[in-house]
């Protein structure tokens, strides 16, 4: 090999000075944009002591906002999980007309502003909307109540589970399911015994992301909830309400709950990624490992 071929052109970042500069820049930007705001939230929340923090959290409006946020997550996340599973199963395991259209529909919530989605729900379920008069005549209240909050949260978070499952299930293919079916397994048996074990970590990864987004959703919920104090305010809306009331400590105390939730979500996300979930890595198929070949025997004369 000649000297010209042995020498490779330098790559960006090969120099130690460049690497150190890039790492320092990332650390500084991360400290200013992420760690500093989180630290300010926690410091301000406990600025008047633990007693004031506990008393603020124990206020009826704050407790109702926490309850409403949890109730919304407990309703929206399981439904979106079932939707994501069904959509991923249909797209990756079957061939049918409209598959690309279904993929586009799943991606719509990511391309539409949450506030626009909330306004769209007003024109569908509001008193002047498409179904509003019929719902009002039947005594069913959707907007400015829990159903409207759940619907808006479901719309915003609908793609999370499906987006995590579809690439994984496409990479896995259909061989294991077809083998199970050929051996006489039913559809449910195939799903629970073959498909679900291979996608469990990616499924949990999508559920964690979906839950975090539901609890932190602001835009769409602020439109359909009506911001009624103590009735339709979720925790993010309650933080804004306290801040506009110049109750800084109360606002930061309520925001600290969302901060702790964000930290727990990040930790859960990292643990699941170590298990092979998420887009950074994919779990291996639950197929039996090949048997080791036996050593060859030499025939004696």
Inform me whether the pLDDT recorded for 182 exceeds 90: no
Which of 14-18, 227-231, 237-241, 290-294 shows the lowest per-residue confidence on average (mean pLDDT)?
Answer: 290-294
What percent of the chain stands above pLDDT 70? Answer: 86
pLDDT of 7: 61
What percent of the chain stands above pLDDT 90? Answer: 10
Each residue's pLDDT tens digit, 143-159: 888 888 999 999 999 99
- Mean pLDDT along residues 251-270: 83
Inform me whether the pLDDT recorded for 288 exceeds 50: no
CATH superfamily entry for domain 58-109+159-219+226-274? MetI-like (1.10.3720.10)
Cα–Cα distances (Å) from 226 to 60, 219, 222, 237, in that order, read 18, 12, 7, 10
Average pLDDT of the chain is 81
pLDDT of 291: 43
pLDDT of 287: 41
Q: Could you tell me which residue, 295 or 166, shows the higher pLDDT?
A: 166
């Amino acid at each position: 090999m000649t000297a010209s071929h042995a020498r490779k052109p330098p790559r960006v970042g090969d120099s130690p000075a460049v690497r150190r500069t890039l790492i320092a820049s990332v650390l500084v930007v991360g400290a200013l944009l992420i760690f500093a705001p989180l630290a300010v939230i926690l410091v301000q929340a406990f600025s008047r002591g633990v007693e004031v923090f506990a008393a603020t959290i124990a206020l009826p409006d704050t407790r109702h906002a926490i309850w409403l946020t949890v109730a919304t997550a407990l309703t929206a996340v399981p439904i979106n999980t079932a939707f994501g599973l069904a959509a991923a199963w249909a797209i990756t395991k079957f061939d049918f007309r409209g598959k690309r259209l279904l993929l586009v529909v799943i991606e719509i919530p990511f391309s539409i502003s949450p506030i626009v989605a909330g306004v769209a729900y007003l024109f569908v379920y509001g008193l002047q909307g498409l179904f509003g008069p019929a719902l009002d005549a039947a005594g069913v209240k959707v907007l400015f109540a829990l159903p409207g909050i759940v619907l808006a949260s479901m719309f915003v978070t609908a793609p999370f589970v499906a987006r995590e499952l579809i690439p994984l299930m496409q990479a896995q293919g259909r061989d294991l399911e077809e083998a199970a079916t050929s051996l006489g397994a039913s559809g449910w048996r195939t799903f629970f015994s073959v498909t679900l074990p291979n996608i469990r970590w990616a499924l949990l990864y999508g559920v964690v992301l979906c839950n975090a987004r539901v609890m932190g959703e602001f835009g769409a919920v602020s439109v359909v909830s009506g911001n009624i104090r103590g009735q339709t305010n979720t925790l993010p809306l309650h933080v804004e309400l306290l801040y506009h009331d110049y109750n800084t400590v109360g606002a930061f105390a309520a925001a600290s709950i969302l901060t702790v939730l964000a930290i727990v979500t990040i930790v859960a996300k990292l643990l699941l990624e170590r298990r092979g979930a998420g887009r950074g890595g994919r779990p291996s198929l639950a197929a039996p490992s090949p048997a080791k070949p036996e050593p060859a025997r030499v025939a004696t004369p």
